[in-house]
Amino acid sequence: MESTASLNKFLINLADVFLFIGRVFRNTFSRGFEFKEFLKQCFQIGNKSLGLISVTGLIIGLVLTIQSRPVLVNFGAVNMLPSMVAISLIREMGPVITALICAGKIGSSMGAELGSMRVTEQIEAMEVSSTNPIKFLIVPRVVAATVMIPLLVLYADALGILGSWAGANIKGDVNFVLFITQAFGKVVFMDFIPAFIKTFFFGFVISMVGCYKGFNAGRGTESVGIAANSAVVMASLLVILVDLFAVQITDLLL
C-alpha cells in the first residue's frame, strides 16, 4: 500500500510539473509579453552575477592550467596546453560549472522570491485582481534566464582562457597574442556549437525549477527556505542530466 501511495504521489507531482510547463509555454507565446519585467530579470540574472562568474571563470582557467602543465611537460607537449585548456573550457567545464553556479544563485533566488510571494499571498492577490501570475512572474524569469545564462557562459569561457594565460606565465613568459593563437588553433566550429546550444537548456531548466518550487511553495514561512533549497538541489541535478544527454547526442551526431 505504501509503495502504491508513493507511486501515485510521484505520478501526480510529475503531471503537475508538465501542466506547469505547458502553462508557461502557452503564456510565453501569447499576446502581452511583459517586456519591462523581462529586462528587469535580465539585469537581475546577468549584471548581478558578473562578479561571481568572473571570479569563477578566472579560477577555472588558472587551476586547469596549473594542474595540466606538469603532465604535458613530462610528455613534451607543453605547446598543446593553450588549445587543450580552450577546448576543455568551451566544450564542458565552462558551460557546466557556470550553470551549476547559476543554479545555486539564480535558482535559489527565484525559489525564495516566489515562495515569499506565495506565503504573503501576493500571488493570490494577483489572481483576484485578474492579473495572470504565470505571464507576469514566471514567463519573464524563464525567458530571461534562458537568454542570459548562455551569455554568462561565453563570458566565463573568455575569462577562463585569460586565467589560463595568467597561469601559463607563472612558470614562463608566454606572449598573449601567441597564447590566444595557439588556444584557438585547434578549436573547430563543432566544438563551440553543441556546447553553446545546451546552455539554453541549462538556463531553461534552472529557471523552470526555481519558478516551479517557489510558485508551489507551502503556506508556512519555513516553506520559503524549503523552496529555495529544493530548487538548488533539483536544478543542479537536472543540469548534470541535461549535460549527460547533450554529450550523448553530440557523440552520436559527430
Q: Within 10 A of 159 (CB to CB), how many other CB atoms are there? A: 22
Please tell me the least confidently modeled range out of 4-8, 147-151, 197-201: 4-8
231 is written with which cell numbers?
A: 530548487
Whose CA is closest to 114, among 208, 227, 21? 227
pLDDT at 2: 63
Is-contact 27 132, C-beta < 8 A? Answer: yes
pLDDT at 58: 94
Instruction: Calculate mean pLDDT across residues 32-52.
Output: 88
Percent pLDDT > 70 in the chain is 99
* Local confidence band at 89 (pLDDT 50, 70, 90 cut-offs): very high
The helix/strand/coil state of 47 is helix
pLDDT at 12: 83
Instruction: Calculate mean pLDDT across residues 237-254.
Output: 89
Please tell me the least confidently modeled range out of 83-92, 153-162, 164-173, 227-236: 164-173
CA–CA gap between residue 9 and residue 59 (Å, rounded)? 43
Handedness of CA 179, 163, 65, 241 (dihedral sign): negative
